[in-house]
Structure 1
Amino acid sequence: MTRTAVLICPGRGTYNKAELGYLRRHHADKAALFAGFDAQRRDAGQEEVTALDGATRFSVSKYSRGDIASPLIYASALADAQSLAEDIEVVAVTGNSMGWYIALAAAGALSAADGFKVVNTMGTLMQEQLIGGQLVYPFAGPDWQNDPVRKAELLALAAGINAREGHELALSIDLGGLLVLAGNEAGLAAFEGAVPVVDERFPMRLANHAAFHTALQAPVAAEGRKRLGAAMFTQPEVPLIDGRGQIWWPGATDTQALWDYTLGHQVVEPYDFSRALQNAAYEFAPDLFIVTGPGTTLGGAVAQSLVHCGWNGMTGKAAFKARQAENPLLVSMGDEAQRGIATG
């Protein structure tokens, strides 16, 4: 019997110390795929992906860089997407932030090699320019309850800070029960000083992250469009759900518009991962939501996005956990205990 699945590709911040060796551990059979990625890195004068993954030591300062993290995450996630059990039918693909580039390749709108080129180019440009930064702050309650009033207050605070002279701050990603905000140092620091500390870790700055999905990234978008041509984009083989929740259908996709969105709106406007996930649920009602590796951090945002739309009657953390324990709905391939559900 076929199991239907929405495939979800993660973004930056998911290849950490525990993930070192991910390609070697899980994908020793994909040497040919990785050889192509390594060749692109060599041609660009960059360290090979397999060498980065095979290193004996992990350092946050190195592995959080855009030109290091992005290709590692892409290689890990795409290899996972190619390792699903034969009884799984992927009915749609989406991703978070940089995960959109991976989703394009996983859905067939970019070849594996062209997807790598997009990710490596954009990750390198982001790192070279490193305009602004990002922080994360929660708005949902402890039981993952949606709190639209609190969310509106935080966004109003951000807008007020953004209106100040010399301050830049805006919504970057709507991520389940979290807001990812991006801006310049003055904007980020003003927000940090205006909100209470939550769970002893928020507001949390993200190392080596630029002000993704804001107008500050306009120079990166412009350079990306110069280097990456629209001709590499093709019709997706399965539906793709973007950072607005819009669906790009096989056989009905304007590939020029897809290129335009990917290297335009997607870079400089907020990314609504929650809406993408909720639209995936509403439109495709899959048996499983499968998050590719590396890492497991995106699972929480997927779960909270489902709870916030009351999916399958789940209205809080407890209800979601009960459903997971009975019959898993969410599978994180980066979690050893869950991986087998997706790979067979």
Structure 2
Amino acid sequence: MKTAVVICPGRGTYNAAELGYLARHFPDPGLLSRLDAMRRDLGQEPLSALDGAARFSLSKHSRGDNASGLIYAATLGDFLSIDRDEIKIVAVTGNSMGWYSALACGGALSSEDGFRVTNTMGTLMHEALIGGQLIHPWMDDDWAPQPARREALLSLMAQIDGRRDHTLSLSIDLGGMLVLAGNEAGLSAFEASVDPVQGRFPMRLGNHAAFHTALQAPVAERGQEKLPQGLFAQPDLPMIDGRGAVWWPGASDLADLRHYTLGAQVVEPYDFTRAITVAAREFAPDLFIVTGPGTTLGGAVAQSLVLADWKGMSDKAAFKHHQEKQPLLVSMGLDDQRGLVTQGESHVS
């Protein structure tokens, strides 16, 4: 039996290629019906209808009040599809919104309550839509760390943030990428101050607010008003949060867990790199399983493992060599990899 840490993706992972993901992969029709009913009760379009649309609409499917629920359901469905006779899950973590999914996968929230938290926070973010995000690399194309470049980018960020009427700060430490968030003046100033990279960076993230910054304080406050303490329970699995802290089964302070989830996690930077480093060093799994939807998070996981010098991997070539020899990372959003960890398919040997 293989051990695995499961990693839940965040916003921006349900795109045109993922349309129909729930119809193709969600394993529990009854549970999906219950999630749909929760949406209807709120006057929102059911997930099955959004997922079953004839065409993907960026303006509709990527909105916070729709995207969050779609991503949560796709993640939860994939988690439930992992073959537990072959795969022993030793911990869960996530990126950004993926922390809410990780709470449900880890057992600290029921499937329905996990959806309630995710859908509520996604809707509040959409209604407020405070600020925005962009993403920019600091590693080179071969994933060799460039610490001086990273520090220069963070210094520029701080300098821009110090300007009058400009707000810019670190949102997510995402492997070889920095996700920055701020107001329009701050984001535009950064874009104007850096040289383009790979023809696409710095890249604005559509329909994204200034997640994980102080600008989200009003959203955090409203979330705390709407989501009571009683939703949270002791986890069944260790959960690694956006600081790299581990919440252990039977030993988690549930008031602290709620306070972090609806407080610091919303308004402070999310260190995904640190979460993966802790996952590797604390749990030493055979596999890192990234649930769907999407496939974009795999690169950040691999880069984070390189930064952690996991198994001596120092760059992209070293990771690819290890992956080809003995798969370490499985992305369930890829059909050829999905079968490695789901029931009735061939498994990682």
| TM-score calculated relative to the size of structure 1 | 0.99
Which residue number corresponds to residue 70 of structure 1?
68
Which residue number corresponds to residue 189 of structure 1?
188
Q: Secondary structure of the equivalent of 2:341?
A: helix
1:200 aligns with 2:186: no
Cα RMSD between the aligned structures? 0.6
Which residue number corresponds to residue 177 of structure 1?
176
Instruction: Please give the alpha-carbon distance, in whole angstroms, between the structure 2 residues aligned to 1:234 and 1:316.
Output: 40
Give how far 1:168 is off.
0.3
Q: Secondary structure of the equivalent of 1:92?
A: strand
Alignment equivalent of 1:45, drawn from 36, 43, 68: 43
1:166 aligns with 2:165: yes
Q: Secondary structure of the equivalent of 1:144?
A: coil
Q: Secondary structure of the equivalent of 1:264?
A: helix
- 1:41-63 CA deviation, whole Å, 9 max, x = no partner? 00000000011101111111111
Which residue number corresponds to residue 247 of structure 2?
248
Q: Secondary structure of the equivalent of 1:341?
A: coil
Which residue number corresponds to residue 311 of structure 2?
312
Give runs of aligned pairs for residues 78-89 of structure 1, distance below 5 A.
78-85=76-83, 86-89=85-88
Which residue type is aligned with residue 48 of structure 2? T
Which residue type is aligned with residue 57 of structure 2? S
Q: Secondary structure of the equivalent of 2:340?
A: helix
Which residue type is aligned with residue 106 of structure 2? A
- 1:12-63 CA deviation, whole Å, 9 max, x = no partner? 0000000000011112x41111011101100000000011101111111111
- 1:153-181 CA deviation, whole Å, 9 max, x = no partner? 10110010000000000000000000000
Instruction: Please give the alpha-carbon distance, in whole angstroms, between the structure 2 residues aligned to 1:282 and 1:227.
Output: 36
Give how far 1:203 is off.
0.3
Give how far 1:137 is off.
0.2
4+ aligned runs moved over 6 Å, structure 1: none
Give how far 1:146 is off.
1.4
Which residue number corresponds to residue 117 of structure 1?
116
Which residue number corresponds to residue 90 of structure 2?
91
- 1:254-313 CA deviation, whole Å, 9 max, x = no partner? 011000000000000000000000000000000000000000000000000001111001
Which residue type is aligned with residue 248 of structure 2? W
- 2:72–2:115: 8 Å Cα contact kept in structure 1? yes
Instruction: Please give the alpha-carbon distance, in whole angstroms, between the structure 2 residues aligned to 1:74 and 1:40.
Output: 14
- 1:123-162 CA deviation, whole Å, 9 max, x = no partner? 0000000000000000001110111111111011001000
Instruction: Please give the alpha-carbon distance, in whole angstroms, between the structure 2 residues aligned to 1:60 and 1:323.
Output: 36
Which residue type is aligned with residue 28 of structure 2? K
Give how far 1:327 is off.
1.3
- 1:43-98 CA deviation, whole Å, 9 max, x = no partner? 00000001110111111111110001000000000010001012111100000000
Instruction: Please give the alpha-carbon distance, in whole angstroms, between the structure 1 residues aligned to 2:80 and 2:44.
Output: 25
Give how far 1:252 is off.
0.4
- Structure 2: gaps (5+ residues): none
- 2:86–2:341: 8 Å Cα contact kept in structure 1? no
Which residue number corresponds to residue 300 of structure 2?
301
Q: Secondary structure of the equivalent of 2:160?
A: helix
- 1:88-134 CA deviation, whole Å, 9 max, x = no partner? 11100000000000000000000000000000000000000000000
Give runs of aligned pairs for residues 1-344 of structure 1, distance below 5 A.
2-27=1-26, 29-85=27-83, 86-343=85-342, 344=345
Which residue type is aligned with residue 79 of structure 2? A
Which residue type is aligned with residue 110 of structure 1? L
Instruction: Please give the alpha-carbon distance, in whole angstroms, between the structure 1 residues aligned to 2:38 and 2:328.
Output: 37
- Structure 1: gaps (5+ residues): none
Q: Secondary structure of the equivalent of 1:82?
A: helix
Instruction: Please give the alpha-carbon distance, in whole angstroms, between the structure 2 residues aligned to 1:146 and 1:236.
Output: 35
Equivalences, count: 342
